Amino acid sequence: MGASSARRHDRRAMTFSLSRVIRPLYLWAYDRLYHELAWGYDLVSWFVSLGQWDSWRRAALRFVRGERVLEVGFGTGELLPLLAVKAERAMGLEASAAMHRITARKLARRHVKVIRVQGIAQYLPFTDESIDSIVCTFPARFILDPAAHREFARVLRPGGRLIVVDVQLNSANPILRLFFQIVFPPVKEARARYQSASAAAALISTVHCLGDGPVQTVVTVSEKAA
């Protein structure tokens, strides 16, 4: 092995080791941000994305179609007012009571009315074939659960679509890669697991990579057969 190859190997090993050490702390902090520290979620999101979080999230809007739109895992509710403008009926589902309280205050200040439901993706409280578009931005692990995809397929109308927004890093910079792994810790075989769950629910997926900087927005659109 050459010296340069050895250095690359050492950097990858160091990044992987640090990621393994930091990951439990990240998961603990992530859970806190959805509960007792939910008030700080928007600030943390802005900080870790260097102000890009909102623009990444808004990438979903160009793929939304239809008059009945559901956002699953709406967090602090920043996208719901925009969905309410785009669709005749916008709805949101979120498991965290703390996020619901924050979102309720935001919607009231902006005089926006959106139907909100406290629940989880694996058990959607909506009737069969009643939703045109489902939006999930930076979703939790439910997005890899086949049960969630079965529910998505059940409530989507024929020709409806599931729109999932995430980001990916296109840089070999070791510091940037370490930071990215801390902020967005990789889940083993996440893409394969997503594709498997989506295909099992008879949803056909297309991946759209937006932007040409070191961080790209990735929008996966999974459609139900018309």
DSSP-derived pairing of the beta strands 203-210 and 89-94: unpaired
Q: What pLDDT sits at residue 7?
A: 47
Q: What pLDDT sits at residue 92?
A: 98
Instruction: Give per-residue pLDDT as tens, 80-130.
Output: 999 999 999 999 999 999 999 999 999 999 999 999 999 999 999 999 999
User: How far is 210 from 146, CA to CA, in rounded Å?
Assistant: 27
Consecutive H or E run containing 3: helix 3-33
Instruction: Give per-residue pLDDT as tens, 10-33.
Output: 445 444 445 565 666 666 666 777
Instruction: Give per-residue pLDDT as tens, 118-142.
Output: 999 999 999 999 999 999 999 988 9
Q: What pLDDT sits at residue 35?
A: 77
How many percent of the chain have pLDDT more than 90? Answer: 62
pTM here is 0.85
Q: Which homologous superfamily is 3-224 in?
A: Vaccinia Virus protein VP39 (3.40.50.150)
Q: What pLDDT sits at residue 27?
A: 64
Q: What pLDDT sits at residue 147?
A: 97
What strands lie across the sheet with 115-118, from one edge to the other? 115-118, 89-94, 68-72, 131-137, 156-169, 215-224, 203-210
**74 touches 38 (CB < 8 A):** no
> In the chain, what are the domain boundaries?
3-224
